[in-house]
Amino acid sequence: MVFIAASITFALDQLTKYFINNRFSLHESLPIIKGVFHLTLVHNRGAAFGLLQNQIPFLILTSIFAIYLIYSNLKAGKHGKIYSLALGLILAGAAGNLIDRIFLGYVIDFLDFRIWPVFNLADSAITVGAGLLGYSIISKR
C-alpha cells in the first residue's frame, strides 16, 4: 500500500512539473488567487529555501543515499501505518526532485504562495511526510 501511495505521489509530481514546464516560460506567473496563490515556473538549482545553490552533484548523492535508507527501512520490517506512509511520501518527494536534478540540472518549482519560496508537489510530500514521521515517533513514546 505504501508503494502505491508513493508511486501515485511521484507520478502526480512528475505530471504537474511536465505540464507547467511545457506551458509556462521561466518566471511566468499565472494568478489563481491574485496576490495569494500563483502558478510560477522557477528552476531551483539548490535545495529548499535556495540553500546549496549549484551543488547539484552533492544534492544528487544525498538524495540517492536518502532514498536507499528509506527504501531499506520500509523493506526491513513491519512499521505502523502512519510511519510507513510518512516514509513513502518522503521517498516519493525525494525521487521526484532527484529525477529533475539528474535530467534537467535543476528542480521545477511552481506553487507560489507569494509569502513563501516557490515549491512543488515533491516538496509538499517531503514536508507532509516529515510531519507524519515526527508525529509517529512522538506518539509511540
pTM value is 0.91
> Distance (Å, rounded) from C-alpha 3 to C-alpha 47?
25
Catalytic residue among 13, 100, 109, 112: 109
Catalytic residue among 13, 100, 112, 123: 123
Place of cell 505502523: 80
Which of 61, 73, 84, 76 has the alpha carbon at shortest distance from 133? 84
- The segments of the chain whose pLDDT lies below 50 read none
pLDDT for residue 50: 75
Identify whether 123 is a catalytic site residue: yes
Q: What is the pLDDT of residues 85-123, one digit of tens each?
A: 999 999 999 999 999 999 999 999 999 999 999 999 999
Interacting residues of 137 by C-beta distance below 8 A, sequence separation 6+: 83
In the chain, what are the domain boundaries? Answer: 2-21+39-140
> Distance (Å, rounded) from C-alpha 101 to C-alpha 94?
11
CB 99 within 8 A of CB 121: no
What does R_g of the chain's alpha carbons equal in angstroms? Answer: 16
